[in-house]
């Protein structure tokens, strides 16, 4: 939950979600944001384009004082921290990732 009582949910899916197509061959992590009234604001599906690599599990989700969202995703043995603005736009220059994850597909 962020400072405005918006709720951010993280998880993984084995299929398409909210009109976004699964990327890769198995699972994609996702985040969904709901406002304080419980209305869905957005869904963001996170997958790796090409090959058989998957973004399998969404772990911790945190927000900062500016309502930016930080999600930790894993796919053994890699770990990736993805930062997004409060409207789901990737925050440039702040990603922490393993080199093989350079082609992360961030759905709109």
Number of compact structural domains in the chain = 1
pLDDT digits (tens, 9 = 90+) for 30-52: 889 999 999 999 998 877 665 55
28 assigned to some structural domain: yes
Is 0.85 surpassed by the pTM of this model? Answer: no
Rounded distance between C-alpha atoms, residue 44 and residue 65, angstroms: 21
2 assigned to some structural domain: no
pLDDT along the chain (108 residues), means of 10: 89 88 79 94 78 65 89 74 83 52 44
1 assigned to some structural domain: no
User: Which residue carries 């930080």 as its tokens?
Assistant: 70
Domain extent for 56: 7-106
First to last CA, the chain: 22
CB neighbour list of residue 16: distance below 8 Å, 6 or more residues apart: 22
């Amino acid at each position: 939950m962020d400072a405005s009582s918006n709720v951010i949910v993280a998880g993984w899916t084995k299929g398409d979600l909210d009109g976004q197509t699964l990327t890769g061959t198995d699972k994609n992590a996702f985040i969904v944001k709901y406002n304080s009234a419980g209305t869905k604001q957005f869904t963001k599906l996170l997958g790796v384009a090409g090959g058989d690599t998957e973004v399998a599990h969404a772990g911790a989700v945190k927000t900062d004082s500016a309502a930016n969202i930080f999600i930790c995703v894993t796919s053994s043995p890699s770990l990736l921290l993805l930062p997004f603005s409060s409207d789901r736009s990737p925050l440039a220059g702040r990603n922490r990732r393993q080199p093989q994850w350079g082609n992360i597909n961030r759905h709109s």
